[in-house]
Amino acid sequence: MVVGVSNAPVNLGKSIVQNLDRFKFEGPVYCVGKDGGYLGDRKIYPTIEDVDAAPDLAVFLIPARFIPDAIDACGRKGIRYAVIETAGFTEYGDEGRTLEDQLRQAAGAWNIRFVGPNCISIINLENGLVLPFVPFNPEGTKKGDISLAAQSGGIIVDSVRLLSLENLGFNKLISMGNKLDLNENDFLDYLVSDPGSHIIGLYLENIVDGRRLMNSAYQSDKPIIILKGNIGDASRTIARFHTAALAGDDTVADAAFRQAGLIRVSNMQEMMDNFKIFSLPPMRGPRLGLLCRSGGQGVILADAAHRHGLEVSQFSDDFYAFVKKEVRAGVIRLTNPLDLGDIFNLKIHIDIMERALQEKTVDGLVFSHAYVADSEVHASEGLISAARDLSLEYRKPVVVTVVPRKREWFSMKEAADFPVFTEADSAVRALINSYRYFTTRQLPGRHLKKIPLLEKPDDRSAKSFSRLLGPGETYDLLASVGLPVAEYQIVKDAQEGVKAADAIGYPVAVKIAAPDVLHKTEEKGVKLGIADPVELKRAIVDMNGNEFLIQKMAAPGREVIVGGKQDNEFGPVILFGLGGIFVEVMKDVALRVAPIEDNDAEDMIADIRGSRLLDGFRGHPPADKAALKRCLVTISRLLYDHPEITNLDINPMIVGDSGTGCVIVDAKIEVSG
């Protein structure tokens, strides 16, 4: 049932019905419009109540103010599913928010599930359910196994055109709109289970429940390519915690996507490139065979492989002997990349492609092809077709790059049901995603893990106030979960300080014990390496504070930072990096959604560029990474178990040599309530 149909020349409801007819939707279609009449042979019913059936789905394109009552009418009629294409809700301010509340209430009363509002709806090429108010034509679409859910209707329109230009077929396209009811997690769960969808794309501007999204990705045996827009860092103004500055919103999202095995892209063309690569057999190893028709192409191919982390494979002597038999002038250098510019018979190029795929050292093949004469146009189309057949036969990805002339652009792209690239770098960048996906999803013993959901994710970002814990509260909390905290006491004056230092044992550090003094070094609120009572008394007098922290000096070691925060989309996250004053300058950190396990902690340590400093460097013994891993796991669990912790900085934690453990010497915790 389409609500909002008339015979007016520019009526958008009419366009929905016409789309259904063009794509041969076989189910009954009922039209509703206040003026009644007919649309072709179909009667236009003046009201929903007048329709003499209870359709499975209602599609609305009427003014927003009428939507809640229309949903209520659907409920009375027994309709339980709706698509609301109408705009004019929260995107228009407070009045729209009131309408959304009314809509949610009406739908909830009848248990109606709906898409939207403010969307262009759904395209399903399997059954012809094409519901956008934008006219589409079957000649501009091709049925395939790619499905995409997008928060923007414009992205859906662009995707239809880009998929057609790339000779790619799609299965289902979903415009989510405001996600007032059904959201990206509902659609992703559906597409993961959908037999017709083998490759999934997502375009999101915000994430309703990041943990559910991650777990849906964990459960998928299909590649999921995600383009996340709206990447402004909402935390960039928070400077008092290193973690808040380093773990901005998009940085957290990026880490979460990698943790869940989602493939992130930065633009629509990159998404199309990955759709093309994942249409090929998987890249099961890192070694590329590279073929080209000029030296310059070879250099670009080799640079692309190096840039994106793939290896240039070593061809065997037998392979080179095979090639050498076909060389006319003997000017080809037998290397990888292999320049075939001296061979003008493209059938021989096909033979060389096949022989390269037979090499055990080749996991994938890229051929930068260039045709140089009209006589090679047909042969080039045959080469593309042969590349498809060889790729399927040898179960290895074969990528052909070619820049056609204008008049042959579409004939080259449509030479076979096979993706063609125009340049090497984008192809290789997508190939590395295929390789990473295979190694994390398909290899025995390699798997991703689910993470616990939050009971009420919305509640964790809706706290009424926040405060900083005092040093005593902070260290007591850390020690209570088994974390190694340097021995300390809180004192009020120099006399108490001397007694505390005598009990703790010199050397000690003294710090102002005021929670509002966050960067004590900058405020001259810390003095390290105090060796005797005289020096201690002088330091306390100079600081001129009300309370002081007397702390045992830790033995020398590697300084690291461990941080955490509550992210609005993913909940608690943990951060790790080399510590000290340069952490924000270097920004060499690793992030994970908490809680983590031992192998996650090990990966975090390995992720940072400075990890070699923990392995033993230039004669230094290795650090106690086992103790560091235990601390990371414990801190991640603390963050998950205590959602009131909104920010946490442990900087530095001193990691001793192997077997000597770690010790926390400075920490800040912010809590909300």
> Could you tell me if 291 and 382 lie in one domain?
yes
- CA dist 178 to 97, 153, 210, 486, 594, Å? 11, 11, 17, 50, 28
Spell 358-379 as b/e; 16+ CB within 10 A means b.
ebeebbbbbbbbebeeeebbeb
C-alpha closest to that of 263 among 283, 246, 248 = 283
Report the CATH number at residue 341.
Answer: 3.40.50.261
Residue 584: per-residue pLDDT: 66
Tell me the H-state helices in 358-512.
377-394, 409-413, 424-441, 471-480, 494-504
**How many domains does the chain divide into?**
5
Specify the length of the chain in residues.
673
Q: Can you give the CATH number for the domain in which 42 is found?
A: 3.40.50.720
Judgement on whether residues 380 and 293 belong to the same structural domain of the protein: yes
List beta partners, residue 115: 83
Q: 608 and 496, same structural domain?
A: no
What is the DSSP secondary-structure string of 49-109? GG-SS--S-EEE-S-GGGHHHHHHHHHHHT--EEEE----SGGG-HHHHHHHHHHHHHHHH
- What is the pLDDT at residue 570? 94
**Cα gap 97→78, rounded to integer Å:** 26
- Computed on alpha carbons and rounded to an integer, the radius of gyration of the chain in Å comes to 31
Q: Are 181 and 35 members of one domain?
A: no
Q: How far is residue 506's CA from residue 502's CA, in Å, rounded to a whole number?
A: 7
- Considering the domain architecture, whether residues 144 and 172 belong to the same structural domain is answered as yes
Indicate the residue among 220, 251, 280 that finishes a domain.
Answer: 280
Is 77 within a domain? yes
**Does 68 share its domain with 170?**
no
For 4, what's the count of Cα atoms within 13 Å in the CB-facing half-sphere?
A: 22
- Using alpha carbons, select from 41, 102, 31 the residue that is nearest to residue 66: 102
Tokens of 68: 């809640």
Q: Is residue 148 situated within a structural domain?
A: yes
Does a structural domain hold residue 474? no
Strands (E), 224-274: 224-228, 263-265
Q: Are residues 341 and 265 in the same domain?
A: no
Domain holding 193, by residue range, is: 137-280
13-64 pLDDT, tens per residue? Answer: 999 999 999 999 999 999 999 999 999 999 999 999 999 999 999 999 999 9
- What are the mean pLDDT values of the chain's consecutive 10-residue runs (673 residues total)? 94 96 96 95 96 96 96 97 93 80 96 96 97 94 96 94 93 95 97 97 94 92 93 49 59 92 95 97 96 92 96 94 78 82 89 96 95 82 93 97 83 82 94 93 63 66 73 94 95 93 94 70 76 93 87 92 93 91 75 94 92 81 95 97 95 93 95 85
For residue 30, the model assigns a pLDDT of: 98
CB-based contact 269:423 (threshold 8 Å)? no
Domain end marker among 552, 576, 608:
552
Q: Which residues pair with 566 in a beta bridge?
A: 572
The answer to whether 283 and 313 are in contact (CB under 8 A) is: no
CATH of the domain at 575: 3.30.470.20
Element (H, E) at 467: strand 466-468
Going by C-beta distance under 8 Å and a sequence separation of 6 or more, which residues neighbour residue 336?
A: 289, 290, 312, 313, 314, 315
**So what's the pLDDT on residue 177?**
92
Residue that is last in its domain, among 259, 280, 301: 280
Same structural domain, 237 and 159: yes
Residues 510, 609, single domain; the answer is: no
Q: Judge whether 632 and 562 are in contact, CB under 8 Å.
A: yes
**One domain for residues 548 and 563:** no
Where residue 529 sits, what CATH number does that domain have? 3.30.1490.20
Beta bridge partners of residue 7, listed in sequence order: none
299 in helix, strand or coil? helix
426 & 297 share domain? yes
Tell me the C-alpha distance between 175 and 196, whole Å.
Answer: 18
pLDDT in tens, 296-315: 999 999 999 999 999 999 99
Residues 304 and 417 reside in one and the same domain? yes
3-state helix, strand, coil in the chain (%, to 5): 40, 20, 40
